[in-house]
Structure 1
């Protein structure tokens, strides 16, 4: 059986059909060409493109040709920024890992979401389950709580008010008033702790990262098993994490001046 564009369409979910069309747009700008490239019918491609245009993933130029839209361009820009951030910060992250002997993470904060962009495992035999690309909570991670403390008070309050807290472990803080008390403490001392709140038996110390304008762009942390990251160890490690964060912030300022 055939459709108006030729052979029967592949059995794909609506999401995968949309992604195939979006993937084809940079090289193929007409509906018929996109249909031929993806193996989808002209009518299906037209319907998907209409949705993508409406949501700014695709746009049409004056000649009615389809091009990647602003949201795609914004996503590419964000990925490029992440690559630049990681490349610039990597020597500092490696130096911190060597000094503390634990796993080091860096995360990007954008559109009120937090995700890992770098991870350097510590020298221990075990490895953290975390992966680059993972989205992590603001409320149960050291980086997340440090970011809440670094944001202006009204933004922090608004984020906390809108939050739907989910229990990650038995130690996850489920009271917004208690979380706010922690945010105020972190704001005074400059660093945050995740005390098995996001993953059992893992403790982390984290700080926020800011660009030259003072905008919060992410954070970094060091993590270890609870028997290694003792209260005494936290007191030793926290200043080192803060120093690393300050050096990366200074590098961000220099990068901004070059632009």
Structure 2
């Protein structure tokens, strides 16, 4: 049953779709095609086939983009992105605030928890600790609870280790220069073991918590990537240990990766207005 909040969210999305310029949408389809195949230099016929736009529309858009230096036409009739885009890109300044991120992350947490029935969290690096700044409690009766503002050591926990794995070298060095506190039997407290774990996280893009902070809580985390390819935070799913945990992770991990990737893409494109009323 739809709620007033759902109606408001749908209306916002509908308005965002209505108040757009169709020709710019078509232009972006062409840009996307040229971006995906920088070494192919497709001709008009290929662009028409791939975008399903009319030949006359493609021709007019390309002529305009070539005129402004945004697209380059090769001597054999192919097209590639133009050098002027480099200048435009160089002038872009990225200044994402926490509220900018949360505007995109909060609806994503709702989606993640709805699809997994588990508790989901968004965690950032804050003063050498991992800090929970947004969360959504899962609908499963046995979903763990959590608390906004909770902080955790960087060497214990799925989100914590992911943030540490992608932290600046000085931050990692500061962690390693201090004794690694043991919170449970599975906490990684040996430097060599932790460094190996962080390398695995960087290689796989996923981090697991096997009860390292609390023996009764497990988790899996994926990174949120910013417009400058930096890791802005960690999206995680927390749950109580399960007899069928391997099967649970096979179900949850792809969903987590998908949602984290969607959030990263939205942030890269500057979409930070898709807020959903009533979320944390």
State the partner residue of 2:125.
109
| Unpaired segments ≥5 residues, structure 1 | 1-79
The answer for the alignment partner of 1:197 in structure 2 is 212
What residue in structure 2 maps to residue 146 of structure 1? 162
The structure 1 residue matched to 2:147, chosen from 125, 131, 136, is: 131
Matches for 1:1-259 after TM superposition, within 5 Å = 81-126=97-142, 128-151=144-167, 154-155=169-170, 157-227=172-242, 230-255=245-270
- Superimposed CA distance per residue, residues 211-231 of structure 1 (whole angstroms, 9 cap, x where no aligned partner): 111222211100111016712
Q: Which has the higher contact order (CA 8 A, sep 6+)?
A: 2
TM-score, with structure 2 as normaliser: 0.57
Aligned residues: 178
Report the TM-score, using the length of structure 1 for normalisation.
0.62
Q: 2 CA distance for matches of 1:86 and 1:174? A: 32
Structure 1 segments (4+ residues) deviating >3 Å: 154-157
Aligned partner of residue 121 in structure 2, secondary structure? strand
Gaps of 5+ in 2: 1-95, 274-280
Task: Kindly indicate whether the alpha-carbon contact (under 8 Å) linking 1:114 and 1:144 is maintained by their aligned counterparts in 2.
Answer: yes
* 1:131-188 deviation line (CA, Å, top 9, x unaligned): 1011122111101111223346x45642442343112122211111111111111122
For the structure 1 residues 214 and 103, does the alpha-carbon distance in structure 2 shift closer, same or farther, using more than 3 Å as the test?
same
- The structural deviation recorded for 1:130 is 2.4
**Cα distance, 1:127 vs. partner?**
5.2
Q: What is the rounded CA distance, in whole Å, between the counterparts of 2:236 and 2:195 in structure 1?
A: 20
> Post-superposition shift, 1:197?
0.6
Q: CA RMSD in A?
A: 2.5
Q: 1:149, 1:156 within 8 Å by CA — same for their partners in 2?
A: no
